[in-house]
């Protein structure tokens, strides 16, 4: 009986000491966590980390960064920010597309902040209410493997998938359109064609064997490897394949003579715990230095604002003209919501 009571007291003591130890560690770490600006980032970590590390080195501000996954690019973080709206954990949202950010702005998740560096960005890529600003863009492109290509090469190769001129699309790839820039692509088609035509086109291309994969990176891979002849992806994925020596070329997707230009966006989250430091990061991301760094990175992001043209890679300079004559995206939030609702029902298991 005595031994049992002693064991009981000893166990309670150990539990109490354990609780004290956990509390001590938590309290010790809390100032560090609280001192870090929390960034949700949908841009690829391999490219974003260097930019964010440069900011930390220049300012001394510590960042805690949460990245998204390739398969659910941007949509995952958008939905997380919506879920956290009443108790935000994030300070700055660096999205790799525009429409999800614009949707968050409409839903009251983002706070206005007019960065002085936003003025260098054309008005087309800025929210009139200063809730988000675009920078460093990609283009939607057709990636083609000329060694395997059954389609007519050149600027009009993309028309085959849109016009039905090629009855067999089993060697043509696209990312599942629920996410990322492929969702933006579908939203543009929804807006320009109307929902009924897009639904018919979607059913028709799937019936003709169009291959759907998890992400633009996977599209790039299977075209580069010759598994598919042709695909729809983004400029950064094309350049990744080209840099590895893959036998591919690309042409920008154009619909009614307009390209699909998809910028990064940055925004201040409403209720941010570190608003002052968060504004510093936003200013940094919207600077000419950051746009130039993204342009010179392997992702070849296209600057939207003025930069030193002589320091731009030639292939990026060639693409800048497409940003000026591209489909306006900012007004497509409603179209995106309608298109996404349909796609979610289409892919519901």
CA–CA dist 90, 266 (Å, integer): 12
Q: What is the pLDDT of residue 210?
A: 95
Q: What is the pLDDT of residue 17?
A: 42
The terminus-to-terminus CA distance of the chain in angstroms comes to: 59
- 111 forms beta bridges with 268
Q: What is the pLDDT of residue 329?
A: 96
Q: What is the pLDDT of residue 165?
A: 60
Q: What is the pLDDT of residue 163?
A: 61
Q: Cβ–Cβ contacts within 10 Å for residue 243, how many?
A: 10
Asked whether 237 and 143 are in contact (CB, 8 A), the reply is: yes
Contacts of 316 (CB under 8 A, 6+ apart): 295, 300, 301, 302, 303
Residue 12, H or E segment: helix 2-34
**Which DSSP string do the residues of 49-79 spell out, in sequence order?**
HHHHHHHHHHH--EEEEEE--STTTTHHHHH
Asked whether 112 and 104 are in contact (CB, 8 A), the reply is: no
Contacts of 198 (CB under 8 A, 6+ apart): 186, 189, 190, 339
Q: What Å distances lie between residue 32 and 49, 62, 217, 266, CA to CA? A: 20, 9, 35, 24
Q: What is the pLDDT of residue 336?
A: 96
What domains, with CATH codes, occur in the chain?
Answer: 35-136+263-314 (3.40.190.10), 138-260+339-346 (3.40.190.10)
Mean pLDDT in order along the chain per 10 residues (349 residues): 46 43 35 72 93 97 88 74 97 96 97 98 97 98 80 50 72 93 96 97 94 95 95 97 96 94 98 97 98 97 96 96 94 96 90
The whole model's pTM is what?
Answer: 0.85
Paired sense of beta strands 172-175 and 230-234, if any: parallel
Q: Cβ–Cβ contacts within 10 Å for residue 9, how many?
A: 10
């Amino acid at each position: 009986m005595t031994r049992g009571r002693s064991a009981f007291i000893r166990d309670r003591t150990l539990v109490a000491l354990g609780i004290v130890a956990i509390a001590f560690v938590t309290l010790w770490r809390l100032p560090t966590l609280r001192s870090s600006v929390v960034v949700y980032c949908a841009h690829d970590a391999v490219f974003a980390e260097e930019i964010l590390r440069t900011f930390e080195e220049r300012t001394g501000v510590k960042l805690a960064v949460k990245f998204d996954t390739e398969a659910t690019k941007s949509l995952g973080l958008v939905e997380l920010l919506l879920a956290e709206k009443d108790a935000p954990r994030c300070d700055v949202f660096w999205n790799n597309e525009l429409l999800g950010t614009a949707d968050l702005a409409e839903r009251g998740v983002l706070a206005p902040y007019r960065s002085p560096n936003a003025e260098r960005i054309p008005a087309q890529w800025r929210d009139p209410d200063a809730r988000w600003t675009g920078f460093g863009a990609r283009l939607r492109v057709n990636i083609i493997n000329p060694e395997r290509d059954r389609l007519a090469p050149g600027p009009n190769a993309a028309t085959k998938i849109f016009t039905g001129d090629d009855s067999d699309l089993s060697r043509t790839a696209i990312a599942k359109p629920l996410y990322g820039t492929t969702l933006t692509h579908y939203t543009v088609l929804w807006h320009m064609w109307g929902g009924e035509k897009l639904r018919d086109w979607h059913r028709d291309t799937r019936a003709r064997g169009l291959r759907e994969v998890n992400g633009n990176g996977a599209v790039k891979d299977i075209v580069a490897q010759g598994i598919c002849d042709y695909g729809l992806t983004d400029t950064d994925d094309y350049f990744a394949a080209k840099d590895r020596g893959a036998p591919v070329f690309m042409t920008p997707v154009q619909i009614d003579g307009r390209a699909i230009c998809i910028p990064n966006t940055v925004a201040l989250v409403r209720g941010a715990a570190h608003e002052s430091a968060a504004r510093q990061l936003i200013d940094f991301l919207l600077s000419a230095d950051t746009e130039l760094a993204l342009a010179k990175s392997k992702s070849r992001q296209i600057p939207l604002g003025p930069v030193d043209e002589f320091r731009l890679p030639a292939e990026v300079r060639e693409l800048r003209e497409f940003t000026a004559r591209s489909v306006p995206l900012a007004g497509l939030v409603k179209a995106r919501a309608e298109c996404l609702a349909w796609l979610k029902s289409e892919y519901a298991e």
